[in-house]
Structures are given as C-alpha cells and as structure tokens.
Amino acid sequence: MDQENQDITLAVLDSANAWIAESLDENTVLTIIALISEDPTNWQEALSVWPRYRSSAVCESTSELPFEEIEPAAVRESIEAAAGWVVIDFTRKRLSTGGDFEAIDRDAAFRLEQADDSDFTGHLSIHLPPWWELVSDTAPANLFQARQSPIPRPIVDREILYGDAFLTFVAKRALEVFHSDDWTKCVQGNTQRDRYALTVAAHKDWLMTPREDLGGRIPRQMLHGAIDWANKVTEGQQSRYENGGPMIAAPDDWQGYSTAPMGSQEMCIYFDFCREILGAGWEWLETEQGKQAANRGESAVTDLVAFLGEIKENWLTSPLEGGPSPNFVIECDRRRVPIGDGVHIEGIDAVATTSHQGDCDCPICALMADGMFGTSFSSIDGHHLELDDEFAFSMHESQEEWEDEQGSYQIFEATINAQESHRKETAKPDPLASVWTGIRDPRAIPGDPLGHLKMAFMVAEIVSVLQDRGNRQTEIKDLNYAFAVYRRAKPPEAKKAKKKFKRILERLAKSHPELVSRSADLQSYLDEAHRRPLPL
C-alpha cells in the first residue's frame, strides 16, 4: 500500500459522540483500522486492544493519538476538506474511506516500515468482521446514510448451549430412551454401535430443533456465522507472535463478550462436550441408582441433571488428551489467541503445556519438545465433526456447501481407488523402491540440514512396527533414547553417539527380520549425514 505518507484525516463516530485527527500517518491509520478486527462495540473498547496491534512504527500509548472530540455534525465538513480520509462508524458498524486514501480489502496484511529510512518495524493484519460494512471511494455526503443491510452479528447464548437447557434435554431424552425398545435392544445386544446411533440421533435433534427460548432458532445457528473471521483474527495474532510480538488476549469485559460468536476451536470443543454429556447420560441409566430413578418417572430428570452437571464441570476443567482443558481452549478461542506450548498469554493466567510429549513414544513429538520447529502451536482441525456424514455436525454453515464437499469427497475417493487398482494390476516389483512406507523422496528435507527430521520419520516407522508386535516397550525406549542422545550430541561426542545408535539398530535387525532393510537404510543415512558439511 502506498499512501506516499501523506497526512490522513480519520474520524470516529460513536453514538452521540465523534472524534477526529487531521494529520495521521499511514502506519497509525492502518493500525487503528486493524482494531476493528476485534469487533469492538465502541471507540473506548477499540482503543483497549491497541497493544494487540501496535508496532514500533506507531506510538506506544493511545493517549498519544492526536484525537479531538467534535460534534458529529462537524465531521462531514472536516472530511470534505481532507485529501485522504477514513471514517469509523461504530453505530452503523461501517468503515468508509475516500479521497486519496487507497482502498483496503476486508482481509489485508501489511509490512510496516518507517517513513524516513524504510526500516522494517512489524507485520499488521486486518480482518473486518463480516457484519461490518466496508465502503471505499465514497463521498462524504454518504457517511450518515442508513446501512445497506441489517447487522447480522451472530448472538451466542452459552447459557442455553452449556447450561441447564441442554442438560435437561439430555436427561429427558435419556429417560425417554430408557423406556423404549431401542434401549432394550441396546442393553441386550451390548453393542457400541447401537448406543452410538442413539447418541448421534439425540445430538442431531438437539442442534436442529427450533426452541422458544431462542426465538424459534435452532442451536446449530449459534455455532456458525463467524468461524472464518474468528480464525483469521487468531491466526493474525499467531503471526504477530512468530514475528517477535507479544501474545496478548482480547479483553473479556467488553459489552458483547458473553454473546460473542464462536470460532472453530470452541465449535469443536462443543461437539465433544455434547458427546461427553450424552455418553454420561447413557452410562447413568446403567447404574443401579439410574435404573431406580428412571423407574420413578419425572423426578428422575432432576437427579440426572444434577449428575450431568457434575460431569460437565469435571470435563470442562480436566486436561484433554494430555493437553489443556476444554475451558482453556474455549477461553483462548473466545479471546482470539492461539494455543502455543509454554507460551505466556498476557491476560490469561494459565499456560498451555503439551504434557503428552514427556511419555510419548513418537520421536517426532520429541523433536517438537526440544523446540526444533520453534514454538509448537496446537489446534483442533474439526475432521471428527464430519465423520458421521451428517450436516448437523458439519463445520460448513450451509447445507449447499456441505453437499458440494460431500460430492467432491466421493469423486476424490473414486479417483484414488481407481488409481490404486490400476497400480496393483500393472505394477512390477521395483528393486530400487524405498524400504519405508512413509518416506518416498530420497532427498533431504528442506530446512533439515542435519537430517534429524528425516531420521525422526524413519525411527517413528520402526517404532510403529515394534508397537504392532506388542510388549516391546523396552526396545522402543532404548531406540528413542539412542536417537535423542545422538541428535543432542555436540560435535566432539557425535561420533560416539552415532556408534551407539547404530548398535541399537543392529540389535533390532537381529531380533526382528522385518526391520533388517529399514535398519540398514537408516544406518546408511546416518553415515551420509556425517559426511555432509556442517551448516554455518
């Protein structure tokens, strides 16, 4: 973006108030626009997220910004006299630009530089919420016009989604199923498939049934409407951190925080939450207490809701698969910050740690724990929301989008199956084929000058073979330990560490004939790695 560093006029309209600054530089204007990415309700909320976007190209404190309060009616006159201008209207949720100010996109990224010497000072990302209007190259006379469309900001009632409304739904559904033939079939058959079908059906009904307390909306609507935007804001903060900026959480005391739209991480956690509570309901029915209460009728709802409430609190606050708790994941998603292993987030007391790495048999995880890839950020990709082939759970907002993707998957799967069948019918044994199933390219991996990452994939495949044989934990630990000692060894000890590592590989080859070729190839790669010149 080239504004030739001219003075830019920026005005702010907020209810009955207005502010204006008539001589701002481009970096400051862009940084102020970036504040809208957080969907603040008013100007004061916008200023409170200045630390999440500021760089050394702009002033440190918002108190240094040269804004003056003026009458809203005077804004148009000031704008008309400006060469380039920007107006942020919080009441109408509209960003207007005009004059010589170059139009910006709804999603934009900038490399900020000092005007005097072009020294790099940081990255800046802008992601306007989808319900904000962006009007470029407009005339000052249009500033006070009504919006072209209503403000479609999603409103999330988390009291309904996580509270007694949902727990009561689950309790009533569980008791209804208890007195049905479906439950008799499930108990007699003792199959997970039958119980899973009950879970999917109940979960779907919860999400897709209109509710009076939601004004006729379905709960599913509250999960959608802002996922892409929320994810982009969070990704922007991750990029800022990776480029040397601090990790700062968005405020949790804004007017719209309690009903703010969901991001993808909370949506995925909510899916897991629903499944956890539904599963707990079925398990309660199998206890003696549950059976006796279910036979009492309506009073059983209260007992089951109380039980599910305890399950809810315990699940939300307990570590999830060795990582942070669901509550922590939800808070980070709502406050638009990524989860980085060991990263301190200003504004959030807890610090994420990936505890599974300490007792994990995966050498790639061990490399991550050693910091080979820098800070390790984790996120939930949401693929498990698509496994039931039900639109109700999908991360796609519209059924049309979901159906299009389902069709693409079917075409892709058919193509892959046809290619695999053709390969099997025509393939001839290749004496030069790789001995590894997951490593096809013999070349070094870019950014891996010492070869440690490629070796980690090789070791991981050997570990997988040993795990399949069962009861081989000692061998796995010895292999991982030898590899860890080798890759951590300084040059004087590297030769000795390599010798010990190769000795473990030879021992495995003698004990497991199926590992002979892999052991030999990894040893050859070790020798090759030591013949390469060390990186400067």
109-166 pLDDT, tens digit each: 998 876 555 555 678 999 999 999 999 999 999 999 998 888 999 999 999 999 999 9
Domain span at residue 166?
Answer: 158-351
Q: What is the pLDDT of residue 449?
A: 79
Residue 273 lies in a domain: yes
Say whether pLDDT at 168 is over 90.
yes
Range with lowest mean pLDDT among 95-104, 250-259, 463-472, 505-514: 463-472
| Residue whose entry in the numeric block shows the structure tokens 């049905």 | 180
Compute CA 353 distance to the chain's CA centroid, rounded to the nearest angstrom: 16
Percentage of residues in the chain having pLDDT higher than 70: 93
Region 320-338: mean pLDDT is 93
Residue 3 lies in a domain: no
Residue 447 lies in a domain: yes
The domain tally of the chain equals 4
Residue 218 lies in a domain: yes
Q: What is the pLDDT of residue 358?
A: 53
Compute, in degrees rounded to 10, the torsion defined by CA atoms 268, 270, 275, 276. Answer: 110
Residue closest to 522 by CA, chosen among 430, 446, 434: 434
> Quick one: 210 and 298 in the same domain?
yes
Compute CA 332 distance to the chain's CA centroid, rounded to the nearest angstrom: 9
> Quick one: 235 and 310 in the same domain?
yes
> Quick one: 123 and 165 in the same domain?
no
> Quick one: 125 and 44 in the same domain?
yes
Range with lowest mean pLDDT among 210-214, 269-273, 294-298, 307-311: 294-298
Q: Of residues 261 and 243, which shows the higher confidence score?
A: 261
Do 94 and 100 form a contact (C-beta atoms < 8 A)? no
Say whether pLDDT at 186 is over 90.
no
Region 202-208: mean pLDDT is 98
Q: What is the pLDDT of residue 100?
A: 93
Indicate the pairing of strand 94-99 with strand 84-89: antiparallel
| Residue whose entry in the numeric block shows the structure tokens 């939300």 | 316
**Which of 89, 113, 142 is the C-terminal boundary of a domain?**
142
> Quick one: 405 and 466 in the same domain?
no
Across-strand partners of 125? 109
Residue closest to 207 by CA, chosen among 224, 193, 192, 195: 224
Region 429-453: mean pLDDT is 77
Reduced to 3 states (helix: H, G, I; strand: E, B; else coil), residue 302 is helix
Confidence grade of residue 536 (pLDDT, cut at 50, 70, 90): very low
> Quick one: 212 and 320 in the same domain?
yes
Q: Which helix (H) or strand (E) holds 77?
A: helix 75-80
> Quick one: 123 and 216 in the same domain?
no
Say whether pLDDT at 327 is over 70.
yes
Region 31-44: mean pLDDT is 98
Region 77-86: mean pLDDT is 94
For CA atoms 464, 467, 469, 472, give the dihedral sign. positive
Q: What is the pLDDT of residue 116?
A: 56
Q: pLDDT of 338-373, one tens digit each?
A: 999 889 999 998 887 654 455 677 888 787 777 677
Say whether pLDDT at 319 is over 50.
yes
Q: What is the pLDDT of residue 114?
A: 67
Q: What is the pLDDT of residue 40?
A: 98
**Which of 103, 118, 142 is the C-terminal boundary of a domain?**
142
> Quick one: 121 and 245 in the same domain?
no
Amino acid at 429: P
Confidence grade of residue 528 (pLDDT, cut at 50, 70, 90): confident
Q: Of residues 186 and 277, which shows the higher confidence score?
A: 277
> Quick one: 330 and 400 in the same domain?
no
Q: Which helix (H) or strand (E) holds 417?
A: helix 399-426
Residue 305 lies in a domain: yes
> Quick one: 224 and 344 in the same domain?
yes
Q: What is the pLDDT of residue 310?
A: 98
**Which of 142, 166, 201 is the C-terminal boundary of a domain?**
142
Do 230 and 265 form a contact (C-beta atoms < 8 A)? no
Q: Of residues 447 and 206, which shows the higher confidence score?
A: 206
Residue 221 lies in a domain: yes
Question: What average pLDDT does the chain have?
Answer: 90
Region 469-497: mean pLDDT is 88
> Quick one: 299 and 166 in the same domain?
yes
Q: pLDDT of 381-439, one tens digit each?
A: 999 999 999 999 999 999 999 999 889 888 888 888 887 787 777 766 666 677 888 77
Residue closest to 221 by CA, chosen among 262, 181, 265, 268: 262
> Quick one: 483 and 363 in the same domain?
yes
Region 216-239: mean pLDDT is 97
Nearest-angstrom CA–CA distance, 266 and 273: 10
Residue 228 lies in a domain: yes
Q: Which residues, 6+ apart, have CB-to-CB distance to 512 below 8 Å?
A: 465, 466, 469
Region 320-326: mean pLDDT is 86
Q: Which helix (H) or strand (E) holds 121?
A: strand 120-127
Reduced to 3 states (helix: H, G, I; strand: E, B; else coil), residue 97 is strand
Q: Is 415 exposed, middle or buried (0-12, 13-18, 19+ CB in 10 A)?
A: exposed
Q: Which residues, 6+ apart, have CB-to-CB distance to 202 below 8 Å?
A: 170, 173, 177, 278
Q: Is 17 exposed, middle or buried (0-12, 13-18, 19+ CB in 10 A)?
A: middle
Residue closest to 171 by CA, chosen among 275, 276, 278, 272: 278
Q: Rounded to 5, what percent of the chain is helix, strand, coil?
A: 55, 10, 35
Residue 384 lies in a domain: no
